[in-house]
Copies of this chain bind each other. A is one copy, B any other.
Amino acid sequence: MDEAGEKVVSSAQLAGRCMVNAAQVRKDLAYFGEFGIRGVGYYVKDLLADIKRILGLNREWRMAVIGVGNLGSALLSYRDFLKQNYKIVAAFDIDPPKVIGRVSEKLGKPVEILHVNRLKEVAKERLIEIGLITTPPSEAQKVADMLVDAEIRGILNFAPTQITVPEGYVVKDVFFTTILDNLAYLLSNYNEGRR
């Protein structure tokens, strides 16, 4: 809406776009503070900035990819990260030489791929706060343990397996097969659902 030049937006407009109730929008925003102006609405630019601040997106997050297979290299060349405040500042693999040729040809400039045993050392140097696990599932827990050892507190796990970390660390899973299962369920039961 900001890009479209809109100056002000009401909770009703936001609700329409998000397919939720207007009171929900107001309650949710009000939970974090008073961002709106009574009788007017919310100033788009201000709201955007406030939401970014609330979500912790008003600064850069430095990330590392661990496991440079197909998914890992896809993430390395995922340009949309740049628009958001995320930056991949390191890539690790168990076998960097094997991987390096495959990856470098896909990106403009060759990407430096380091051996995982340098994770802790490099994490400190480059102030890495988030680790992206893109290894096979069999290695995911080991990698998680290494991230914990390196005091990288945030983990985004793409490997289709459950991993556990100590108190103080946060894991979020990206299991798209789970979403796919959900889709399959909805498709299977669509006819019943419509009655």
Contact = CB atoms under 8 A, between A and B. Distances in A.
Interface of A: 54-57, 61, 69-71, 73-74, 77-78, 80-81, 84, 86, 102, 106, 129-130, 137, 153-156, 158, 160, 168, 170, 172-174, 176-177, 179-190
Contacts of A176: 156, 158, 174
B80 A177 contact: yes
Given A57-B184, A170-B187, A185-B56, A177 B84 contact: yes
A187 B84 contact: no
Contacts of A70: 73-74, 77-78, 106
Contact of A74 (B71, B129, B153, B182): B71
* Most B Cβ at <10 Å: residue of A57, A137, A155: A57
Given A70-B78, A102-B106, A183 B172 contact: yes
Contacts of A172: 179-180, 182-183, 186
25 contacts: A54-B185, A55-B184, A55-B185, A55-B188, A56-B184, A56-B189, A70-B73, A70-B77, A71-B78, A81-B177, A84-B177, A129-B187, A130-B184, A153-B187, A153-B190, A154-B184, A154-B187, A156-B176, A156-B179, A156-B183, A158-B176, A172-B180, A172-B182, A172-B183, A174-B174
Number of copies: 2
B170 A186 contact: yes
B102 A55 contact: no
A187 B180 CA distance: 28
Given A70-B78, A154-B186, 5 more contacts: A55-B181, A56-B187, A80-B160, A153-B187, A174-B176
Nearest to A187: B154
